[in-house]
Amino acid sequence: MDKIISEEGVNVTKIATREAYGRALVELGRQDERIVVLDADLSKSTMTAFFAAEFPERFFNMGIAEQSLMGTAAGLALSGKIPFASTFAVFATGRAYEPVRNAIAYPRVNVKIAATHAGLTVGEDGASHQAVEDIALMRAIPNMTVVVPADASETRQAVQAIAAYDGPVYLRLGRPAVPRIYDESYSFHLGKAHQLRPGRDAAIIACGYMVNEALQAADELLAEGISAMVLNMSTIKPLDREAVLAAAATGVVVTAEEHSIIGGLGSAVAELLATTRPTPMAMVGISDSFGESGKPAELMQKYNLTAEAIKAAVKRLKSI
Amino acid sequence: MIIDYQELTTIARRLRRHIISMVGAAGSGHPGGSLSAVEIVVSLYFGVMRLDPERPDWPQRDRFVLSKGHAAPVLYAALAERGYFPVEKLNTLRQLGSPLQGHPDRKALPGVEVSTGSLGHGLTVANGMALAARLDKADYRVYVLLGDGELQEGMGWEGAMAAAHYKLDNLTAIIDHNHLQIDGAVEEVMSPEPLAEKFRAFGWETRTIDGHDFSQIMAALQWARQVQGKPAVIIAETVKGKGVSFMENQAGWHGKAPKAEEVERALAELGD
Ligand SMILES: Cc1ncc(C[n+]2csc(CCOP(=O)(O)OP(=O)(O)O)c2C)c(N)n1
Ligand SMILES: [Mg+2]
């Protein structure tokens, strides 16, 4: 099992969302017998191995066969189970795209696709393993809910919430350990953004790994006299329209995501604002390119997925 | 073309040393499935393939597709030893800006035929190359190396069907049958057995060999050339982590880099 931070995953400052997911599944499995988990030969990395160890009879390793993974999950769901199907985001949304679309989303089958290793923070494995377009693919499918938690606590709660929700969900998780943003008192609501900082002059709408960068950017901006609201848009679809419109009331919106600027969070926000309340906007994200091998931090720098990039975007918009 | 097994053995040892050193230096990567494929890759690059390292895009060259792209270190080591690029470059593996990407990228490194890393593609891409050779009346051959876990992908069997349907006798598939994948033993995770029977049922000629024995590999590659009207597959029985005692037959060494002390121990075992 790579990068286990602590025995129970608590009382440490940084935990990967995939680790929080693996632990949350065990909790869920104890509460509800209908929970079943499927993987495609990556259970040590997606951390479904925790569930497999405790509930071997409710765990199915489908082998390196992501299409079979999704089709089987659909069949289990159609027979009353609540399946969580896990593999890397590239393979869940790429190899298995069409089964996800036609066997899960179109018939509105209750499958939870929990995909790990999304984005550039996969690091050294390189472009073939770095999903930069998965949100776009999943968001474009009717009936699909898309959730991108920002830290371990939010992941834990999101897992509970999507299990309680009846319908297909794409849960996007990351490889690296990320700082804690929330403590256990936080409560996640599916479809609702969470305001982490109030602000008058600008709004930063972020998801996943970039929420922490957004907070840092807002703190630095405040020191320079710019009050920036920070929204954690952990449900990207359905989008929290009220929260986005409230953010737009500041006059300036910057989105930040570890994803292509084509089709992700920025696009979702832009689609809403362009048609209801045109607002000066900037998108911090990957500019239509594949990733590459490198250390996660180096890649985030190189591809401008940083607090500095968010700060610069806010200032640029404010100076127009 | 080298047929002196002693010389091939020497080259194989050098490749193993490179694999250990470069994955150790990178701090991540896939030693197990690189080590299991060493003799196969050496037989191809130093034994049978028609190549010119000076002209990586020479139209008449034989093609090698590393479908199990995570074994990039064995490919990089072979390309470097064969003269495609300086051996010193090997320890830039997986670093930002290096042409030696974590999984092979044909845009980044001349000599890499196909960008791989997502399992299941290789055989179908190789089929396309073999069909193109036929259209162009070219006599180059296409070789594709597949993992045994990789054979769980449906796409591989779609490719197997197509290769037989189009009678691609200019194509040779080799299976690195090391019996391990990430989550454990291939037969326990999701058995694709019986492999030889399955391929025969799909219309292929098959031969099973010891994938670490040069005389058997070279003979099988020779045999595959002679098969007519059908694609041929060589099922190479191998040991994952071969050559490094503490890595052999251990699923845990699939995608883990050796620490400095482990690199030293491995290199000492391998010898110069
Ligand atoms: C489509 C796809 N799914 C999953 C993975 C992740 N993965 C990388 S290597 C591997 C195991 C490969 O096992 P095998 O084919 O037996 O390779 P070998 O033992 O030769 O290393 C997996 C699941 C991948 N690269 N591509
Ligand atoms: Mg194997």
Amino acid A12: pLDDT: 64
Give DSSP secondary structure letters for chain B: ----HHHHHHHHHHHHHHHHHHHHHHT----HHHHTTHHHHHIIIIII----TT-TT-TTS-EEEESSGGGHHHHHHHHHHHTSS-GGGGGGTT-TT-SS-SS--TTTSTT--S---STT-HHHHHHHHHHHHHHTT----EEEEEETTGGGSHHHHHHHHHHHHTT-TTEEEEEEE-SB-SSSBHHHHH----HHHHHHHTT-EEEEEETT-HHHHHHHHHHHHH--SS-EEEEEE--TTTT-TTTTT-GGGSS-PPPHHHHHHHHHHH--
Average pLDDT in the B5-32 region? Answer: 98
| Residue A63 to residue B101, Cβ atoms within 8 A | no
Selected for mutation to probe chain A from B68, B91, B94 (highest A CB count within 10 Å) is: B94
Q: Which residues of A are catalytic?
A: 66
Collect all residues of chain A within an 8 Å Cβ-Cβ radius of residue B155.
Answer: 95
Q: pLDDT tens-digit profile of B209-262?
A: 999 999 999 999 999 999 999 999 999 999 999 999 999 999 999 999 999 999
Nearest ligand 1 atom to the CA of A129 is: 25
Question: Mean pLDDT score of chain B, rounded to an integer?
Answer: 98
Give B101's contacts (C-beta < 8 A, 6+ positions apart): A126, A127, A292, A293, B72, B94, B108, B109
Candidate from B94, B115, B190 with C-beta closest to A128? B115
Amino acid A13: pLDDT: 82
- Reading the block at residue A137, the tokens are 């693919």
pLDDT band of residue B2 (cuts 50, 70, 90) is: confident
Give A276's contacts (C-beta < 8 A, 6+ positions apart): A241, A245
pLDDT band of residue A232 (cuts 50, 70, 90) is: very high
Owning domain of residue B62: 5-270
Amino acid A1: pLDDT: 35
Amino acid A15: pLDDT: 97
Residue B76 near residue B100, CB atoms below 8 Å? yes
Measured between alpha carbons, how far is A181 from B139 in angstroms, rounded to an integer?
61
The answer on pLDDT for A11 being more than 60 is: no
What sign has the CA pseudo-torsion B40, B42, B48, B52?
A: positive
Length of chain A: 320
User: How far does B190 lie from chain A, in Å, by closest CA?
Assistant: 5
Rounded to two decimals, the pTM is: 0.97
Give A232's contacts (C-beta < 8 A, 6+ positions apart): A150, A154, A181, A193, A194, A195, A196, A206, A207, A211
Show the CA angle centred on residue A173, arms to residues A170 and A177, nearest 5°.
170
Q: Tell me the CA distances in angstroms from B157 to A67, A95, B2, B116, B201, one per residue in order.
A: 13, 15, 33, 17, 11
**Structural domain count of chain B:** 1
Give A285's contacts (C-beta < 8 A, 6+ positions apart): A255, A256, A257, A258, A259, A260, A261, A264, A265, A266, A305
The answer on pLDDT for B103 being more than 60 is: yes
Omega within 30 of 0 (cis) for the link into B194: yes
Measured between alpha carbons, how far is B244 from B250 in angstroms, rounded to an integer?
11
Q: What is the set of domains in chain A, with CATH numbers?
A: 14-179 (3.40.50.970), 194-318 (3.40.50.920)
Amino acid B40: pLDDT: 98
The answer on pLDDT for A9 being more than 70 is: no
Pocket probe for ligand 1: among A42, A64, A69, the residue whose CB has the most ligand atoms within 8 Å is A64
Amino acid B265: pLDDT: 98
The answer on pLDDT for B129 being more than 50 is: yes
Q: Tell me the CA distances in angstroms from B111 to A93, A125, A177, B35, B83, one per residue in order.
A: 30, 20, 36, 20, 10
Length of chain B: 272
Q: pLDDT tens-digit profile of A46-82?
A: 999 999 999 999 999 999 999 999 999 999 999 999 9
Distance of CA A310 to the CA centre of its chain: 19
What CATH number does the domain containing B204 carry?
3.40.50.970
Closest CA to A36 of A84, A68, A103: A84
pLDDT band of residue B173 (cuts 50, 70, 90) is: very high
| Residue A41 to residue B69, Cβ atoms within 8 A | no
Amino acid A2: pLDDT: 38
Average pLDDT in the A145-169 region? Answer: 98
Amino acid B112: pLDDT: 98
pLDDT band of residue A3 (cuts 50, 70, 90) is: very low
Torsion on CA atoms A218, A18, A45, A72, rounded to nearest 10:
-130
pLDDT band of residue A212 (cuts 50, 70, 90) is: very high
pLDDT band of residue A40 (cuts 50, 70, 90) is: very high
- Reading the block at residue A245, the tokens are 């419109």
| Residue B94 to residue A67, Cβ atoms within 8 A | no
Separation of CA B119 and ligand 1 centre (Å) = 6
Q: Which residue CA neighbors atom 17 of ligand 1 most closely?
A: B147
Average pLDDT in the B51-55 region? Answer: 98
The answer on pLDDT for A279 being more than 60 is: yes
Measured between alpha carbons, how far is B154 from B128 in angstroms, rounded to an integer?
18
User: How far does A19 lie from chain B, in Å, by closest CA?
Assistant: 17
| Residue B117 to residue A42, Cβ atoms within 8 A | no
Measured between alpha carbons, how far is A217 from A307 in angstroms, rounded to an integer?
5
Q: pLDDT tens-digit profile of A303-315?
A: 999 999 999 999 9
pLDDT band of residue A184 (cuts 50, 70, 90) is: confident
The structure tokens 């050193």 sit at: B21
The answer on pLDDT for B153 being more than 90 is: yes
Amino acid A320: pLDDT: 77
pLDDT band of residue B3 (cuts 50, 70, 90) is: confident
The answer on pLDDT for A175 being more than 60 is: yes
ipTM summary value: 0.97
Distance of CA B208 to the CA centre of its chain: 16
Question: Mean pLDDT score of chain A, rounded to an integer?
Answer: 96
pLDDT band of residue A5 (cuts 50, 70, 90) is: very low
> How large a percentage of chain B has pLDDT more than 70?
100
The answer on pLDDT for A4 being more than 70 is: no
Candidate from B98, B118, B149 with C-beta closest to A293? B98
